[in-house]
Amino acid sequence: MSVEPLDPSTLPDHGNLPGNAHAYCVRLSGPLFVQTGRMIAHYPAGGGAIRFEPLTATSLGALVAERFSSPLYSRDWVVADGQGHVLLGDRGYDINSYDLDDGNLTVRAANLLAFDAGLELKESIVPGFLTLIGTGRFLAGSSGPVVFVEPPVRVDPEALVGWADCPAPALHFDAGWMGHFLGAARGALFGTRSGEERQYDFTGAGTVLLQSSERLREDPHALRRLEGEVRQLGPGALQQLQAVVQQQLAEHQQQQR
């Protein structure tokens, strides 16, 4: 089998590689925030260099203070700068480019690959999501093609990529799930079920972005958020949480058999 290598002179300035929805090429024309682990190759231009600096670099102090307001995720991002092309990939996910024009969009943190310095990033009130505000381009990965839907709509949390120009969603639980939950008060063990009985409920105007598959990447920051909440619990609540964790571990072990 013969494979044609990439020709740097024919790389797109902004777009997926030809015939490849899983790799995206960006031509740097200014600082670009990039999530660590997403750069797969880069081609400096004109004998120069492309720099990847952590957000803690002193040279980035003013930029980070103005454009990146999310301490929980700050260790997982770098700023790329220089002249040339950068290739990005994301676990074999489809990669798409989106443009914001004086708008705002909230996206799952694990799916966000990169964004222009013209956009400002903040933590969403919904755990595991980040909000981009302003004018500029960002890249996001998705498990399969992205589907755009309008509210009112209820969606599976694992299929949700993000939402734009509409209020944050509320959680909706069906009657069966509520019965299962209330059964815990009668001695039943509370745990997860199929997953279909819990949905995000969107209302109002705007757009909701869904991925075609419910395949999610584990969010490493969920543990940090939980650790902060656990410190506020008393002995009784901690024992109840321990029972839930033990049940969850047992379910994972059964799934792996």
* Greatest C-alpha distance within the chain: 71
* Structure tokens given for 23: 């790799």
- Whether this prediction's pTM lies above 0.85 is answered by no
pLDDT digits (tens, 9 = 90+) for 198-226: 899 999 999 999 998 876 556 666 676 67
* Structure tokens given for 80: 């790329």
Higher pLDDT residue, 147 or 194?
Answer: 147
Give residue 188's pLDDT: 44
- The pLDDT > 70 percentage for the chain reads 86
Phi, psi of 6 (to 5 degrees): -65, 140
pLDDT digits (tens, 9 = 90+) for 24-63: 999 998 999 999 999 999 999 987 899 999 999 989 999 9
Higher pLDDT residue, 233 or 3?
Answer: 233
Q: Which of 172, 59, 73 is nearest to 115 (CA)?
A: 73
User: Cβ distance 209 to 148 under 8 Å?
Assistant: yes
Q: Rounded mean pLDDT of the chain?
A: 87
Higher pLDDT residue, 256 or 48?
Answer: 48
Q: Name the band, by pLDDT with cuts 50, 70 and 90, for residue 236.
A: confident
pLDDT digits (tens, 9 = 90+) for 87-119: 999 989 999 999 999 999 999 999 999 999 999
What is the pLDDT averaged over residues 133-144? 96
Higher pLDDT residue, 133 or 218?
Answer: 133
Core vs surface per residue 71-100: b (16+ CB within 10 A) or e: eebeebbbbbbbebbbbbbbeebbbbebeb
* Structure tokens given for 229: 């909440």
pLDDT digits (tens, 9 = 90+) for 149-184: 999 999 998 899 999 999 999 988 876 655 555 565
In whole angstroms, give the CA distance from residue 17 to residue 149. 27
What is the rounded end-to-end Cα distance, in angstroms, of the chain?
A: 37
Is the peptide bond prior to 151 cis by the omega test (within 30 degrees of 0)?
no
What is the pLDDT averaged over residues 77-89? 96
